[in-house]
Structure 1
Amino acid sequence: MMNHTLKSQCKVSPGTVIAGKWHLNKYTIIKELGFGANGVVYLAKHNHTHVALKMSDNGMSITSEVNVLKSFAKVQGPLTLGPSLLDVDDWQSNRGRISFYVMEYIQGPDFLTFLQQKGKSWTSVLFLQLLNDLDKLHESGWVFGDLKPENLIVTGPPSRMRCIDVGGTTIQGRAIKEFTEFYDRGYWGLGSRKAEPSYDLFAVAMIMINTAYPNRFSKTTGGISQLREAVRQKPELAAWEKVIFKSLQGHYRSAKEMRTDLLSLMIDKKIPDPPKRAQEANVDNQKKKPSLHPQGSQPITRQNYRKGRKKSGWKEFFFIAVVLGLFYAWYTFNKLL
C-alpha cells in the first residue's frame, strides 16, 4: 500500500492541468484510476485523447517503470503486452517537483469480469495469448512479477489480454519487486522470489485456479498438497489439471512449453468448446445447409466428396457436424490469437 505522504503529495483534483516542465505537454486530470506503492495513476485527457498518467515523488521508480515500457515496445510489436509509453516529464506543482509518465489508456474489463460477462469458454484462448506474450517478455530478459487478474485487461474486439501496472516487472535474476500473496510461489512454499520465467508461470496457474475460485482462498497447510486438493474439488479445472500441476511445481522452462501443453489439451478435446459465438455460427450453418453439395460447401467438405466417402443416415450427419465444429474452432482460434 502506498504511504500516506506519497499519496498526499500526488493527490490532485479532477480538472487539474499537469504541464510538463521539459516537453511542455499539458494533461487535464479526469479521475483517479488507482494507486500503489510507488505512485498514483490518473485518467487524463491530452488533445482530445484519453491517456493514463502515473505520478510519483520517487524518480527512480518512474525511471524503472519507463525502462520496462520501452523494453515492451522493442520486443512485442504493435500489440504489446503492456501499455505504450507516450511521454516522460516532471511537473512543478505548488508542493514541489513531481515526476510522471504518460501511457496508453487500456480500456476494458479485468480478466475475471470479462469471463463473468462473456463466459468461461473464452478462458483457454486468452491464456494461450497471454503465454505467447509472456514468452516474448521473458526472451527480452524481464519477468512480469505481480501477475494477477486485476492487472489483466481484456480489450477488443477482437478480444485480447493486455497487462497494466508494470511496477512489479523485474530484470531476470533479481528479487521480485512486487507481488500479491495468492499468486506468489514463495507464499505457498513452492519456490523462491527470484525473477525467472517459472515465477510468472506459477502465477498463470494460480490465475487458472482463480477462475474456479473467484474469491480466492486462504493458505492452510500450504504447499502442493493444498493446491492439488483445491484443483480436484472443482470439475471445471479437470481439463487443465496436467498443465496446472506442472506449472505449480516449476516443471516448465518457458512459457512456450506451457502454451504447447495447453494447446495440445485443446486439440485433444479435453478443453471446453470455443466461444459461444462460434457455437451459434455452427448451429446456424447446419440449419442453412442440412445436406452438403460440392459447389456450395466449405473446402474441407469438398475434400470429403473428392475422397468419395459415401456416408448414409446418421453417420453422415455425425461426420458433418464434427467437421464443421473443427472448422469453426480453427477459425475462432486463428482470429483471436
Structure 2
Amino acid sequence: MKKPDFNLAAGTTIRGKWGHHVYHVVRKLGEGACGVVYLCQKNGVLYALKVGTESSRLMLEVNMLKKFSKVQGVKLGPSFVDVDDWIVNNETYPFYVMEFIEGQPFSVFLKGKKKEWVGICAMQLLSDLEHLHRSGYVFGDLKTDNLLVADSKVQWIDVGGVTAIGRAIKEYTEFYDRGYWGYGSRRADPLYDLFAVTMIMMETVYPNRFDAQKDPKKTLQDKLKSAPLPSEYKKIIAECWRGKYHSATEMKEALGQVLMKRAQPPKRSSRKSVQTDASEWGEMIGVSAIVLAFYGISAWNLWL
C-alpha cells in the first residue's frame, strides 16, 4: 500500500466503516511513528484522532490506552473513545479516537517559572511512573513532545512507546535514550524511564538539546556540570546516572526531600524581606503546596 499523505484539511470528514461515527477534522496536533494525530470534533465535543496505515501497531496503542485508563486506581494517559477503519478512494486506513487533553506544551509551561517547577514536574512524572512500572510496563519513548501540562499537572499524550518490562524498547528518541549516551541497554526496565526523566530535566535548560561527541558519557557529564540548575537537582541527576535509584519511588522520595528543603521560606531578618514581592511569595507557596500534596501535608503548616 502506498503511504498516504495524511495532510488533512480542516473540515475533512472521517466516517467509521463499522461504528459509523463521524468526526470532523479541526487541525493537526502532531505526528508519531505510525500515524498522524488530529484534533477532531463530534457533536460539539473535541477529541484527538490518530490515523495511520498499520492496523497492528495502532491496535497495540489502543490496547495500552484501555489498559492504562485506570492502573491501580490512577488514570494514566488519555481515555480511549473509539476505534474503526476509514475508507478513502477504496483504501482502508485504521484510526482510533481518544480524549483530547487541552494544555500547554511542557517547555512552554516552564518558561518564566522558578527552577523548583522543574523538580515539581519531574516528581509528577515519577509518581505516574511508579504505577506504570508496578503494572509491568515502562513508558519507553518518554520525552517532552509526549507531555502536556494541564491545570499544573503533567499529562502523557502518547503511549506508542510503552513496552513490557524485559522486552526490547520499541520506540525511542536518542536524546532521552540511555543507550545513546552509553548508560545502559535498550532493554525495558524502570531505570530506562528514570534516565529519560533526568534528560527532560536537562532539556529545561538546554531547549535545543545537544548531540553526543566522541565520548558520550563525558559530553553528558560536562553538560550537567555547566547546566544552570540548582546543585541539588544536579546531584540527583548524577546519582540516577550512576544507578543509585532502583525505582521511581526512590528517586521521587529523594527529589521530594530536596523540594521541601528549597520550599522553606528565608529568614525574615529585615522589614525589606517581609515586603517581598507578592507574586514571588505566591508562587513559592504554590510550589510548596504541590510538593507537600505528595506527602499529605498542608503547605500552610510549613509556612506558619
Give the TM-score normalised by structure 1: 0.77
Match of 2:82 in 1: 87
User: Which whole-Å CA distance do the structure 2 matches of 1:88 and 1:110 have between them?
Assistant: 26
1:169 paired with 2:165, answer: no
Which of 38, 42, 45 is 2:38 aligned to? Answer: 42
User: Which whole-Å CA distance do the structure 2 matches of 1:124 and 1:34 have between them?
Assistant: 27
Change (3 A) 1:82 1:26: same
Change (3 A) 1:332 1:131: closer
Change (3 A) 1:282 1:38: closer
1:98 paired with 2:93, answer: yes
- Three-state SS of the structure 2 residue aligned to 1:220 is coil
Q: Determine which structure has the larger helix proportion and give its number.
A: 1
Shift of 1:160: 0.3
Which of 21, 24, 27 is 1:25 aligned to? Answer: 21
Shift of 1:222: 3.4
Contact 2:119 2:233 in 1 (8 A): no
Shift of 1:37: 2.2
Shift of 1:270: 8.6
Shift of 1:328: 6.7
TM-superposition CA deviations, 1:10-51 (whole Å, max 9, x none) = 443321211112222110111222223201111100110110
- Three-state SS of the structure 1 residue aligned to 2:68 is helix
Match of 1:109 in 2: 104
Match of 1:331 in 2: 289
Contact 2:81 2:99 in 1 (8 A): yes
Which of 64, 69, 78 is 1:68 aligned to? Answer: 64
User: Which whole-Å CA distance do the structure 2 matches of 1:210 and 1:14 have between them?
Assistant: 33
User: Which whole-Å CA distance do the structure 1 matches of 2:119 and 2:264 have between them?
Assistant: 8
Contact 1:239 1:271 in 2 (8 A): no
User: Which whole-Å CA distance do the structure 1 matches of 2:104 and 2:280 have between them?
Assistant: 28
Change (3 A) 1:190 1:23: same
- Three-state SS of the structure 2 residue aligned to 1:29 is strand
1:134 paired with 2:134, answer: no
Q: CA RMSD for the aligned pairs?
A: 2.7
Shift of 1:279: 7.7
Whichever residue aligns with residue 280 of structure 1, its letter is A
TM-superposition CA deviations, 1:232-258 (whole Å, max 9, x none) = 112424221221012223332211111
User: Which whole-Å CA distance do the structure 2 matches of 1:328 and 1:180 have between them?
Assistant: 33
User: Which whole-Å CA distance do the structure 1 matches of 2:123 and 2:21 have between them?
Assistant: 38
User: Which whole-Å CA distance do the structure 1 matches of 2:34 and 2:248 have between them?
Assistant: 28
Contact 1:232 1:238 in 2 (8 A): no
Q: How does 1:302-317 map to 2 (within 5 A)?
A: none
Q: Which deviates more, 47-56 or 32-41?
A: 32-41
Q: Which 5+ residue runs of structure 1 have no aligned equivalent?
A: 285-324
TM-superposition CA deviations, 1:257-278 (whole Å, max 9, x none) = 11011011123339999xxxx9
Contact 2:137 2:162 in 1 (8 A): yes
Change (3 A) 1:71 1:90: same
Q: Which 5+ residue runs of structure 2 have no aligned equivalent?
A: 267-275, 296-304
User: Which whole-Å CA distance do the structure 1 matches of 2:92 and 2:294 have between them?
Assistant: 44
Q: How does 1:1-337 map to 2 (within 5 A)?
A: 5-8=2-5, 10-75=6-71, 77=73, 80-156=75-151, 159-269=152-262, 280=278, 330-334=288-292
Larger radius of gyration: 1
User: Which whole-Å CA distance do the structure 2 matches of 1:107 and 1:41 have between them?
Assistant: 14
User: Which whole-Å CA distance do the structure 2 matches of 1:208 and 1:27 have between them?
Assistant: 37
Whichever residue aligns with residue 134 of structure 2, its letter is E
Contact 1:131 1:256 in 2 (8 A): yes
Shift of 1:200: 0.6
Whichever residue aligns with residue 63 of structure 1, its letter is M
Change (3 A) 1:145 1:334: same
Paired residues, number: 285
Give the TM-score normalised by structure 2: 0.85
Shift of 1:329: 5.7
Contact 1:111 1:149 in 2 (8 A): yes
Q: Percent identity?
A: 44
Whichever residue aligns with residue 135 of structure 1, its letter is E
